[in-house]
Chain A
Amino acid sequence: MVSVPILEMKNINKSFSSVKVLNDVQLSIQPGEVHALMGENGAGKSTLMNILMGVHSADSGEIYLDGAKIVNSNPKEAMAKGISMIHQELNPVLDMDVSENIFLGREIKKGTSGILSIVNKKQMRHETQKLFDAVGIDIQPSALMRDLSVAQSQLVEIIKAISISARIIIMDEPTSAITEKEVDILFEQIRKLRESGVAIIYISHKMEEIFSIADSITVLRDGQFVSSDNASNLNKDKLIKLMVGRELTEIFPKTEAEIGEVVMEVNNYSFKPKVRNVNFNLRRGEILGIAGLVGAGRSELVEALFGVHKSAEGSLFINGQDVKIRQTGDAIKNKIALITEDRKQTGLNLIASIEDNITIVSLDKLFPRGVINRHKEDEVVDKSIVKFGVKAASKKNKVQSLSGGNQQKVVIAKWLLTDPQIIIMDEPTRGIDVGAKRDIYLLIGELVKAGKSVLMISSEIQEVMGVADRILVMAEGRITGELERKDFSQEKIMHYASQFNRGKEDEETE
């Protein structure tokens, strides 16, 4: 294929608050091809697509459509140029019917245009039917979106994209929530679109899908362009190598700690449908990593262990004792700490002071009589701030005034003040700079040296390999693999992380 590319993105650079997420990235798409965009979590795929759609603006770089330079400053402009995106998480208006969703924001109107015009529902349904007939989709235009399956909603989104005469359709993990049969329907539509000259940018972690649908594949890694090739020149192993790529170049300070007896034993833990029959144990002084793709159920697993989800099932032994954790307070009493992934949602009360945030979990321990002693609280907080290097003008300042790295330090200070034995960290280094990351690795090392145990979720394979003594890999809510430190390899982790079908087979036999 040596025609003029329908889309070219050249030398795209983008930083978020001084963290470089895209570095001179390029992408070239031919008309009528399915082009897979691959990379690990955080490789920059979503950011690149958001720049194309005008959600973010690039710091530098150019975008060419049919050889002509374009600038999209919002998604509406991108859509007007025939570029549309089907998001991983759909957000249709559930209480409107299918045709209304397809024509949302560009309704067909009766009579005069202007403020008094009336929506022509009949015409909209008729047009929708015509669109459906053209591709052979069997959905009623008058059906409520609420009543459709996820796959049907996907199809409606795709038809919506076509109906605005899209020439480039971006699909972000379109099969993450649909069954195999529905995947077939989706792929059939994708092939039809391809024949009519529409270019598809396809983002997925599922290797099998990529090789069954993609014509060419571009790989990004750590915000950099790695390669772009025809799918026929690649195979699964080659692709994984390209995605995880380089040797361990970053330095992960690994502290050698003595690994002792089992402190936590997890038996048959489930929080359906996100977590299924998980078994593992954690030893004193051990750093146990949990790897896997986004959506593998890792966060849900640790939340279930921590008592966040009331419907979680399974048994848990701590230091050999059978414990029941029904609410987060039970976990805290059993000396478990959960440093969550989302600081703003689950980690902090942003409008409260640094001091109030640090002591909130430990109030009962510090002040068993229920009365706060300000002097004592100040002393404790001052110590924590120094110990964890929180940089702030005053401990009375609101947490929302701090940088991401400093907010993370406040979360860690808050949880370590409870003197936990088992520290669960969910993506502890997400969105913070390299220096702060290193501080956290060092801290983890100190914790295990002091005889504590760490359970760390990380989507960065380098990080989990650099820090952990042992790694569990999850896919679709199950543990699909376990690796000892001597057996660590990126290929093995990726292999276990992309074992998708096992879950579905088991479900059928259940």
Chain B
Amino acid sequence: MKKLNNIMNVQLMRELGIVIVFVVILAILMILSPNAFARPANLMNIFKQASINGILAMGMMFVIISGGIDLSVGSIVALTGVVAASFAHPGEYPLIVPIILALVIGLFIGWFNGVGIAYGNIPPFIVTLGTMTMIRGVALIVSKGAPVFGVTDAFENIAGAFLFDTIPLLVVYFIVITIVSAYILTKAVFGRRVYAIGGNEISAAFSGIKVEKIRIMVYMISGLFAGFAGLLLASRTVSGIPTAGQSYELDAIAAVIIGGVSMSGGSGRWYGTVIGALLIAVIGNGLDILNVSSHYQLVIKGAIIIVAVLLDVKSKERTA
């Protein structure tokens, strides 16, 4: 019994730990910069800055819980951004065309990743490393290596507009995608199966779960969210930039890991990922306001990732 309580406490501590770290960092920044950082407008700004990475992280979370990884999302952001912008010139196509294209392309690349991993038996790291490189190349080919400018106002408004004139649409999208993801993970049978294949693929297969099918769907979710993020980034920057989104996959992975999802799969909670994405944005925003050079910011961000994983490993050792 004592042992059981121990395990519970470690788990609780682990999940609380992220919240505590988040609150402490938030408090420190508020104290250090009460006028700039703590302003409601800035807090909304942090949310906005967290949105695109947060959307990518939601997709990445499915992949990592299933025991995989998706390195291709940054390149998907670039390709879908370029394609969307190319179909968003004034007077050419209706607004729905670039939106659908971005989503379909993301979905297709995710499907390709999933098939390679599930049926080709190639490790996820390798498959998505390959598509990451390929898709970046395709983005450069499609755009002839130059940013695509000249998009409609409507396209710009996809990410640039506000709900009720106060909440940026970016934040609304992030919240909606978070709610959908949380619902799938905690309420849907599908979500339960994602945890099952990440926890023990063999026992999942013995339990009648179509492991390959679930795997492919997980990468399709990640690809779809990345396609949407690409659309949003193109809208926000009013252009499709073929070199955009570089290392976005790493920020998404960082958010998921900081949020307590184990790299070995089978565990993790959606709200951890939300906090992970917010934490990364808070640190970036806060350090900017405090005039800390972006070079130092990288060092701090990296250190936080390591500490988060260290917590993960230590909690595993305790429960083993």
Using a CB–CB distance below 8 Å, which chain A residues touch chain B? 306, 308, 327-329, 331-332, 338, 340, 345-352, 356, 359-361, 363-364, 367, 370-372, 393, 397-398, 400-401, 414
- A364 & B319 in contact (Cβ 8 Å cutoff): no
Residues of A within 8 A of B189 (CB): 363-364, 367, 370-372
Q: How far is the CB of A325 from chain B (nearest CB, A)?
A: 11
Report if B247 contacts A (CB, 8 A): no
Residues of A within 8 A of B3 (CB): 401
Name which residue of chain B comes closest to A349, CB basis.
B199
Given known A352-B195, A372-B188, contact A397–B208 (CB-CB < 8 A): no
- A352 & B210 in contact (Cβ 8 Å cutoff): no
Determine the main DSSP class of B at the interface with A. Answer: helix
Report if B121 contacts A (CB, 8 A): no
- CB under 8 Å from chain A, chain B span 146-160: none
Report if B271 contacts A (CB, 8 A): no
Chain B residues with a Cβ closer than 8 Å to the other chain, count: 28
Select one of B190, B195, B203, B210 contacting A370, CB under 8 A: B190
Residues of B within 8 A of A360 (CB): 192-193, 196, 204, 207, 209
Select one of B192, B199, B267 contacting A372, CB under 8 A: B192
- B4 & A346 in contact (Cβ 8 Å cutoff): no
Given known A332-B208, A361-B208, A401-B3, contact A349–B187 (CB-CB < 8 A): no
Residues of A within 8 A of B203 (CB): 345-349
- A329 & B206 in contact (Cβ 8 Å cutoff): no
Given known A363-B192, A401-B3, A401-B4, contact A350–B200 (CB-CB < 8 A): yes
Report if B266 contacts A (CB, 8 A): yes
Residues of A within 8 A of B199 (CB): 349-352
- B206 & A400 in contact (Cβ 8 Å cutoff): no
Using a CB–CB distance below 8 Å, which chain B residues touch chain A? 1, 3-4, 7-8, 186-190, 192-193, 195-196, 199-200, 202-210, 266-267, 319
Select one of B7, B187, B210 contacting A327, CB under 8 A: B210
CA distance A350 to B267 in the complex (A): 11
Select one of B187, B202, B208, B267 contacting A346, CB under 8 A: B202
CA distance A398 to B6 in the complex (A): 12
Sorted from nearest, which 6 A-B pairs have the closest CB atoms?
A349-B199, A329-B208, A332-B208, A349-B200, A363-B189, A328-B208
Given known A363-B189, A400-B319, contact A349–B267 (CB-CB < 8 A): no
- B266 & A349 in contact (Cβ 8 Å cutoff): yes
Name which residue of chain B comes closest to A306, CB basis.
B206
CA distance A414 to B208 in the complex (A): 12
Residues of A within 8 A of B266 (CB): 349, 351-352
CA distance A190 to B232 in the complex (A): 74
Q: How far is the CB of A369 from chain B (nearest CB, A)?
A: 9
CA distance A350 to B204 in the complex (A): 11
Name which residue of chain B comes closest to A340, CB basis.
B206
Interface centre among A327, A352, A370 (most CB of B within 10 A): A352
CA distance A364 to B210 in the complex (A): 13
User: Can you list 18 residue pairs at the A/B interface with Cβ under 8 Å?
Assistant: A308-B206, A327-B208, A328-B207, A329-B209, A346-B202, A347-B206, A349-B203, A351-B199, A356-B192, A359-B192, A360-B207, A372-B186, A372-B192, A398-B7, A398-B319, A400-B319, A401-B7, A414-B207
Given A328-B205, A338-B206, 11 new contacts (CB under 8 A): A308-B205, A328-B208, A345-B200, A345-B202, A348-B200, A350-B199, A363-B189, A367-B189, A371-B187, A397-B7, A401-B3
Q: How far is the CB of B253 from chain A (nearest CB, A)?
A: 20
CA distance A372 to B193 in the complex (A): 12
CA distance A331 to B205 in the complex (A): 12
CA distance A351 to B197 in the complex (A): 11
CA distance A349 to B202 in the complex (A): 9
